[in-house]
Structure 1
Amino acid sequence: MPHQEARRLFPRGLTQPEGGFRFGADALLLASFAAPAGGRRVLDLGTGCGPAGLGLLLARGDADTTVLGLDRDPAMVAAAAANAGLLGLADRFTARYLDVRAIRAEADIRPESFDLALANPPYRDPASGRRAPSASRDAARFETEGGLAAFADAAASALGNGASLALVHLAERLGHVFACLTARKLEVKRLMPIAPRLGAPARQVLLLATKNGRPGLRLDPALALYEGSGPDTRLSAEALGFCPFLACNAGPRNAAP
């Protein structure tokens, strides 16, 4: 598939390991949320098959931003590298096999050398919710391998002073998120709630935290993902305006493919 056609179709056509964790809208929302943030050297923590880091490159459309994607699953790393090649971004997106907990031991990943970090970490406490049948899916959903604390540690180590971490997480765990970030001198500066529809409670949050930043939080209006009802339910115009990548699944839920 020519690169331009693959970019037009993104995220459709991305390689995902058979039986592995399947990325969702949260990774695409994270890419769009982080795209306007400053910084050209980007670290994608827990990159999976690359949707957030690759989406950020496509959303920015520049020639200067580079992304290093880290993941502890070799199959995901291989998929991310393949997807970068598919999109013609292999010169600016590098996928690497590395557990985020080991980032400080990597001599070639220098402390405070990144301008921006992305993180879509496992959301759930292992004591809550139904566990996934496969080890890879379970580790992607539940904090069995360090969780948010490990991602925050990695970001705090890799980011330069004043650099930013863009993160997506569950609204119900916002207290946990703030505690983890504040303890590592990552000051939350912007927060966007994500609700399933207008007037409904937020289920997820997007946030931007600055390393050694001063207190001062911007709370954005909630982004409602869906509008309509029943068979006419579709992604909202606001959601598509914020994240055009969602257009791959924009129509009515019962629409024919």
Structure 2
Amino acid sequence: MPLILAYRHSEIKITGIEIQEELSFCARQNSINHKLDKTISIINKDIKNILISDINGKADIIISNPPYKKKNSGRLNPNTQKAIARHEITLDIDLLFKCSSRLIHKQGRVYIIFPAERISDLILAMESYKFSPVYLRFVHIKKNTGARRVILCAAKNSNKTCTVSPPLYIYNSENKLTNEYISMFKP
């Protein structure tokens, strides 16, 4: 996500936070290899231990693809790296909003993608930390299938109404990636 954002918005500064050392190293190398290390900095730390000074002041926007499986649910991957990335072992949705509330400007926004079936967990976590949804978009594998993910923008201390956009479809009727989906990954 930082690489795509840096390519599209060269004027912004991006700080990535990654708890896993190996993934943090990989993210730093990606930034260097794409000549974006002046725009993107990566911190190898647990988000709950991040200080505002670590990120050079409060953030305007936080984006996250947080672990999406509840702790003690489903089969835990034996690969620790994958288990931490997929299950709420070191970060759950409540902790994400708690930390975001502390690290973001008072009118800041949080963008996340999360399983659609857990939208009630999102709403509860947002409300607990004075965030409200301002944008929702459901992601479907194909037309006529249930939503698998939800893209959410939540604003802190906001009373704006929520815009619900048309669904995003990953595959078309010929089982090919949709143009809209493909365009999301282009610089």
Q: Structure 1's 149 and 141: CA in aligned 2 closer, same or farther, altered over 3 A?
A: same
Q: SS where residue 147 of structure 2 aligns? A: coil
Report the alpha carbon displacement of residue 111 of structure 1 after superposing the two structures with TM. 9.3
Q: SS where residue 235 of structure 1 aligns? A: coil
Q: Aligned residue for 1:240? A: 182
Report the alpha carbon displacement of residue 117 of structure 1 after superposing the two structures with TM. 0.5
CA RMSD of the aligned region, Å?
1.8
Q: Structure 1's 245 and 132: CA in aligned 2 closer, same or farther, altered over 3 A?
A: farther
> Mind listing any 5+ residue stretches in structure 2 that lack a counterpart?
none
Structure 1 segment 194-205 matched on structure 2, within 5 A: 194-205=139-150
Alpha-carbon distance in 1 for matches of 2:162, 2:112: 15
Q: Aligned residue for 1:79? A: 26
Report the alpha carbon displacement of residue 126 of structure 1 after superposing the two structures with TM. 2.2
1:109 touches 1:158 (CA, 8 Å); kept in 2? Answer: no
Report the alpha carbon displacement of residue 77 of structure 1 after superposing the two structures with TM. 1.1
Report the alpha carbon displacement of residue 78 of structure 1 after superposing the two structures with TM. 0.8
Report the alpha carbon displacement of residue 71 of structure 1 after superposing the two structures with TM. 1.0
Alpha-carbon distance in 1 for matches of 2:172, 2:97: 34
Q: Which amino acid aligns with 1:58?
A: Y
Alpha-carbon distance in 1 for matches of 2:52, 2:167: 41
TM-score (norm 2): 0.93
Report the alpha carbon displacement of residue 112 of structure 1 after superposing the two structures with TM. 6.5
Larger displacement relative to structure 2 (212-221 or 84-93): 212-221
TM-score (norm 1): 0.69
State whether structure 2 residue 108 is matched by structure 1 residue 163.
yes
Structure 1 segment 175-254 matched on structure 2, within 5 A: 175-229=120-174, 233-241=175-183, 243-245=184-186
State whether structure 2 residue 9 is matched by structure 1 residue 53.
no
Q: Which amino acid aligns with 1:238?
A: E
Count of aligned pairs between the two proteins: 187
Report the alpha carbon displacement of residue 180 of structure 1 after superposing the two structures with TM. 0.5
Alpha-carbon distance in 2 for matches of 1:58, 1:120: 19
Report the alpha carbon displacement of residue 107 of structure 1 after superposing the two structures with TM. 5.8
Alpha-carbon distance in 1 for matches of 2:26, 2:112: 22
Q: C-alpha offsets along residues 119-163 of structure 1, whole Å, 9 cap, x if unaligned? A: 111001123221101111111111112311121112111110211
State whether structure 2 residue 86 is matched by structure 1 residue 141.
yes
Q: Which amino acid aligns with 1:159?
A: I
Among the aligned pairs, what percent are the same residue? Answer: 20
Q: Aligned residue for 1:88? A: 35
Residue number among 54, 70, 74 corresponding to 1:109 in the alignment: 54
- Please list every run of at least 4 consecutive aligned residues from structure 1 whose deviation after the TM superposition is greater than 3 angstroms: 109-112
Report the alpha carbon displacement of residue 215 of structure 1 after superposing the two structures with TM. 4.3
1:53 touches 1:118 (CA, 8 Å); kept in 2? Answer: no
> Mind listing any 5+ residue stretches in structure 1 that lack a counterpart?
1-51, 247-257
